[in-house]
Amino acid sequence: MVPKERSVIKIMLSDPTYNPRDRASIAYGRYQKIIDTVARPGTTVDFTSLKEGYFMSVGTPYPDAVNAVGMAERAYEAEKKGYDAFIIGCVWDVGLREARSLVKIPVTAPTESTALLAWTLGRKFSVIAGSSPKALKYRDLIQRYGLGDKLASVRCPPEFTAGTDPDFELIFGEEREQREFIEIVTAEMRKAVKEDSAEVVWYACTLGATLLTMHGVYEVDGAVIMDAFVAALKIAEVMVDIHRAYGTAVCRASIYQAPMLGWEKERPIALD
């Protein structure tokens, strides 16, 4: 039997935006339902967002750069407060490299986690995006992770090519709107399976992905549908196990190189 203290995993999840809207409570409620279903007994997740930063224009370089600093600081806070792991709560994976360079606890993000797991479940995977610009950025992100040769396609449903975040209006809508979202997304997933030979597919939004899961949509035309939020959560649990067993953290030789000693004195990070 696993000792009680080792069965307890405490995780902080932060949205990589400053989120002043009531939608945050809806999102966290949906996340918690997924956690109650798939997390191990003893795993708890606390939700937060950035203390300050950008809510609008995320996914563009300057706001993302600012918010990446905030994410690294949240990860630092999580480590100082005794959390076992930190999850970046958006498929942009904002601040992943910065956070890993700053802390020793495991840090996971949805797109990296999903791509790694998708590789184990099928030969090729496809991503469904909420807009054409987002589709281009997800392709670049996956290539940056070194998994471009496993990517069958990044597609955007025609219904999501116009307007500002039309998928969000459906994701946060009533039951009818949510089912419309699922129909649009699964139709595009079928195209990815048929036209691009995808064997694993997922929707590139943690909230959209959890909506599919909550409605019991786990496969389409024989292809596996992955939940990006679940992937980040389960990878975090495994990384905590390895960290506890062997003290294993990221390699500091290159992309996760830690700051020089004394950096905290030059610009201290204030904790809540």
Q: Summarize pLDDT for 44-102 with one digit per residue, the tens.
A: 999 999 988 888 767 788 989 999 999 999 999 999 999 999 999 999 999 999 999 99
Note whether residue 17 is domain-resident. yes
Structure token digits, residue 22: 């009531």
Q: Is the same domain home to 85 and 156?
A: no
Give the DSSP letter string of 116-142: HHHHHH-S-EEEE-SSHHHHHHHHHHH
Q: How far apart are CA 35 and CA 207, in angstroms?
A: 13
**Best mean pLDDT range from 23-32, 131-140, 218-227:** 218-227
Q: Is the same domain home to 104 and 121?
A: no
Note whether residue 271 is domain-resident. no
pLDDT of residue 1: 41
pLDDT of residue 165: 75
Predicted confidence (pLDDT) at residue 3 exceeds the cutoff of 60: no
Identity at 151, one-letter amino acid code: L
Q: Of 62, 48, 23, give the one whose Cα is nearest residue 272.
A: 48
Q: Summarize pLDDT for 157-197 with one digit per residue, the tens.
A: 999 987 667 898 899 899 999 999 999 999 999 999 999 99
Predicted confidence (pLDDT) at residue 253 exceeds the cutoff of 90: yes
Q: How far apart are CA 154 and CA 224, in angstroms?
A: 16
Phi, psi of 167, rounded to the nearest 5 degrees: -65, -35
Residue 70's domain comprises: 4-109+230-266
Note whether residue 176 is domain-resident. yes
pLDDT of residue 60: 83
| Domain containing residue 8: CATH number | 3.40.50.12500
Q: Is the same domain home to 220 and 117?
A: yes
